Amino acid sequence: MNGQVLDRRALNRATLARQLLLDRHRIPVVDAVHALAGLNAQSAKDPYIGLWARLTDFHPDELADLLHSKQVVRSCLMRYTQHLVTADDFQVFRPVLGPILARVQRSGWGKRTEGVDLDELVDLGTAALRGRTLTRPELGKKLQERWPDHQATALGWTFQYLAPVVHPPPDGLWGRKGGATPFALAEDWLGVPPRAPDPAELILIYLAAFGPASLRDIHAWSGLSRLGDVVDALRPRLVTFRTESGVELFDLPDAPRPDPETPVPVRFLPEYDNLMVGFHDRSRVMTKEQQARVCVGAYIASTLLVDGFVHGMWKVEQVDGTAVLDVELFEPVPDPQAVESEGLQLLRFLAPDAADQRVRLT
């Protein structure tokens, strides 16, 4: 397989297979979260929609139960944004991502923490959190007792970036509105000590969920850089392909790479879905023109997939017992009825109490 060229459809179908989007799956939710290498959780509702699009008969309580039982955790991870990941994957990801989170602290809060001994801050914050949960403002105020001339906000955020913490429930729960972010020490919450950094294991998890992918794709997903030596060391365990433009792609030998003509159902994906954030080159799911509309600055819109490719964006509006799914199509779809049918299922998931549910294609 080494050196074989994969066209856009071949890459698309391989990615959809890894991302559980060729069909809905009847597997445990914790297994799905691992298979997806986590889900972006900037908005609490997005992971639930992402799992609904991929799993058969998914109910929000299933993910909530995993958060309460500590099998899944919410934390600041890839690209220094909030994610839901399995407890085991957190133990892999967080040590490797620590240096980039420290860089984010320096760039975002460095000036506001000048004069603060950051090692001492981590020690004091760890002692304050040991065996209990505090919100970020509460922790910031405790740290401010040591550094009264510094903002509690800056001290709290600095600790979040420098120390392995998770955000326990009610953070990350379906329907939660507002409220300060709770902190717990990852070691306390999970009951296990942190592991040593192993970037190779992180890359293998990524390729299982997103491959075939380039080195730049790995960098884009993780937020890390300079992983070339690690990937080179993994070459004996990997297979390589090339895009039509000659970019080298890496993959696991036994990972699924379906027939490019494999049929794909209509799917509605949430904001910041894995399919959009997992790559530097997003051409396997959308054109450059579409990307300019879907990805605006740091924002990534909710998308509609038809035949596995982005065909539009969507949002839901609820007023007085009416829920309307507005779908902005980038081009006509071959089967509008399939889009409307899947859209009504989405409304039943998002707005089950709405007496009037409608799908509007524009």
Q: Per-residue pLDDT averaged across 57-63, rounded?
A: 97
On the 0-12 / 13-18 / 19+ scale of CB atoms within 10 A, 355 is exposed
pLDDT score of 57 more than 80? yes
Q: Per-residue pLDDT averaged across 268-281, rounded?
A: 96
Q: Would you give the DSSP letter of residue 157? A: H
| pLDDT at site 330 | 97
Q: Which of 83, 59, 85 is nearest to 72 (CA)?
A: 85
**CA gap 316, 265 in Å, rounded:** 21
Q: Which two tokens stand for residue 228?
A: 């070339």
Residues 288-314 pLDDT 10s: 999 999 999 989 999 999 999 999 999
Q: Per-residue pLDDT averaged across 70-86, rounded?
A: 96
| pLDDT at site 142 | 97
Residues 122-181 pLDDT 10s: 999 999 999 999 999 999 999 999 999 999 999 999 999 999 999 999 999 998 766 788
CA angle 181, 32, 76 (to 5 degrees): 25
Would you tell me how many other CB atoms lie within 10 Å of the CB of residue 273? 27
Would you put residue 102 in left (φ > 0), alpha (ψ -120 to 50) or beta? alpha
pLDDT category at 1 given cuts 50, 70, 90 is low
Average confidence score pLDDT of the chain: 96
Which three-class secondary structure state does DSSP give residue 6? Answer: coil
pTM: 0.95
pLDDT category at 335 given cuts 50, 70, 90 is very high
Q: Would you give the DSSP letter of residue 286? A: -
| pLDDT at site 178 | 66
Which three-class secondary structure state does DSSP give residue 316? Answer: strand
Residues 175-223 pLDDT 10s: 876 678 899 999 999 999 999 999 999 999 999 999 999 999 999 999 9
Q: Per-residue pLDDT averaged across 266-275, rounded?
A: 97
Q: Which two tokens stand for residue 139?
A: 């922790």
**CA gap 7, 284 in Å, rounded:** 9
Q: Would you give the DSSP letter of residue 197? A: P
- Beta strands 239-242 and 4-5 are parallel
Residues 84-126 pLDDT 10s: 999 999 999 999 999 999 999 999 999 999 999 999 999 999 9
pLDDT category at 3 given cuts 50, 70, 90 is confident
**CA gap 263, 56 in Å, rounded:** 18
| pLDDT at site 175 | 80
CB distance 314 to 327 below 8 Å: yes
